[in-house]
Amino acid sequence: MNVVYAADPSITISRDKAQFFKISNLGELISAAVGALLVLAALLAFFYLILGGIQWITSGGDKAGMEAARNKITHAVVGLVIVGAAWAIMILVQNFLGVTIIGETLTLPKPF
């Protein structure tokens, strides 16, 4: 039996706004900020890596353009390594000290 749920008007999706963004103390605020900064830093470094790759491709064999692109790629990879190391250090501190730094564990959404 084929059922298309997108066309079913009886399906409603609701989200309690209080549960979506719930910060009740300073520790939770810092935890959310650290997690958001890690994600933002990783995304920016990845974007910088892609930008360096595009610059490398479009340099057309120009030595100065290739050198600038290589530096951009190197800096992006170093940035990703630093973000990964910061995340790993925070996980180690969480496990050894029993404190929560970056919030709860990552849970994937479940299908219907």
Per-residue pLDDT tens over the stretch 82-93? 999 998 888 888
Residue 18: per-residue pLDDT: 53
Both structure tokens of 67: 């050198």
* The Cα angle at residue 96 between residues 94 and 98, in degrees rounded to 5: 55
Query: Is 91 domain-assigned?
Result: yes
81: containing domain: 24-97
Task: Tell me how far apart the alpha carbons of residues 79 and 10 are, in angstroms, rounded to a whole number.
Answer: 47
- Number of helical H runs and strand E runs in the chain: 3, 0
Residue 87: per-residue pLDDT: 87
Count of the separate structural domains present in the chain = 1
Greater confidence (38 vs 5) lies with 38
Residue 73 has pLDDT above 90, yes or no: yes
pLDDT band of residue 97 (cuts 50, 70, 90) is confident
| pLDDT tens-digit series, residues 13-60 | 666 555 556 667 777 777 778 888 888 999 999 999 999 999 999 998
Query: Is 18 domain-assigned?
Result: no
Query: Is 104 domain-assigned?
Result: no
Query: Is 56 domain-assigned?
Result: yes
Query: Is 4 domain-assigned?
Result: no
